[in-house]
């Protein structure tokens, strides 16, 4: 294998690793999960004044649980359907 082919192979492998690392599902899932945990915690510590302001609905709790579910959905989707490695180019 020539030096050029080896370098191209290494670059393709690094590119595939970077693509998996910066997959948008990982970013969205991670952010929604973290924010979901924070907002859910705020919902558990809601005061009576907060509940009265939201007409008796614990909006932070429900929104946090929804965000948490969406974030976990994206992370599970990423785990079940990972990006396929790029096909090697034949020149």
Tens-digit pLDDT profile for residues 72-81: 999 999 889 8
Measure the CA–CA gap between 43 and 12, rounded to whole angstroms.
46
| Residue range 43-54: mean pLDDT, rounded | 91
Q: What is the average pLDDT score of the chain? A: 84
The token duo for 30 is 């991670």
pTM assigned to the model = 0.70
Buried (b) or exposed (e) across 68-88, using 16+ Cβ within 10 A?
Answer: bebbeebbeebeeeeeeeeee
């Amino acid at each position: 294998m020539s030096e050029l082919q080896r370098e191209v192979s290494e670059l393709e492998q690094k590119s595939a690793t970077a693509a998996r690392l910066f997959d948008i599902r990982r970013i969205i899932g991670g952010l929604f999960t973290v924010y979901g945990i924070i907002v859910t915690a705020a919902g558990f510590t809601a005061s009576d004044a907060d509940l009265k302001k939201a007409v008796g609905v614990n909006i932070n709790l429900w929104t946090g649980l929804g965000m948490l579910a969406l974030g976990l959905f994206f992370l599970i989707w990423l785990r079940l359907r990972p990006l396929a490695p790029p096909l090697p180019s034949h020149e």
